[in-house]
Amino acid sequence: MELAVVKINGQDTGRKVNLEDALFAIEPNDHAIYLDVKYIMANKRQGTADSRERSDVAGSTRKLKRQKGTGTARFGDIKNPLFRGGGRVFGPHPRDYRSKVNKKLKRLARQSAMSYKVTGNEVVVVEDFKFETFKTKQFRQVLTDLKLDNQKTLLVVNEMDRNLYFAARNIQGAKILRAENLNTYDILDAKTVIFMESAVKSTEELFSKK
């Protein structure tokens, strides 16, 4: 599959890049995508939520009233979960949510996600560019010229440029990643994936690694 390379002002350069069908035009595997996205989101969780149960709450252990003969329910101490200020029942405690998936599944998930983008015409290839300064309006103008403003975009670069990073970080919905950090979630989360021309080869090498 061939994609035209455009300039940052939206004009055609006359060049094209060839995307390997075996990597960018496969039959998407939805289950692989599900497992990889689940793995990515789980690994982002801090797992620091904690609560105090009955044994952790400060308070007297004195029995509030006698067991029988009151005509009401029996009570234990003031730390009963039924009382205000009592311990929580089955509350959360710190835990590790991280999981693992194998490399082949990760690669299949990335290929599947990118195949969805390619077949949906949601991939743009631009010639390599750099900014002399880190002005937000510069990157915003690039998105406007590419007719990608007001939508989530993911720019894939071969090497991270400091000025480019700072120019894009204040734009809502815009994200920049190096090709080696490309993952299934970020691919699917973006409406359009923008590749710098030099990043296409790096991405193909990443997707084809055994």
Domain ranges of the chain: 2-45+98-208, 48-96
Place of tokens 């359009």: 192
Q: What is the pLDDT of residue 210?
A: 59
Q: What pTM was estimated for this model as a whole?
A: 0.82
Q: What is the pLDDT of residue 71?
A: 93
Helices 197-208 & 103-119, crossing angle to 10 degrees? 140
Q: What is the pLDDT of residue 23?
A: 84
Q: What is the pLDDT of residue 195?
A: 94
Q: What is the pLDDT of residue 127?
A: 93
Q: At a CB cut-off of 8 Å and minimum separation 6, what does 22 contact?
A: none
Q: At a CB cut-off of 8 Å and minimum separation 6, what does 82 contact?
A: none
Q: End-to-end CA distance of the chain, in Å?
A: 22
Fold that domain 2-45+98-208 belongs to in CATH:
Ribosomal Protein L4; Chain: A; (3.40.1370)
Q: What is the DSSP string of 100-142?
A: ---HHHHHHHHHHHHHHHHHTT-EEEE-----SS--HHHHHHH
- pLDDT averaged over 10-residue windows placed end to end, the chain, 210 residues: 88 88 90 96 94 93 92 92 93 93 94 94 92 91 91 93 91 93 95 93 82
How many other CB atoms sit within 10 Å of the CB of residue 148?
20
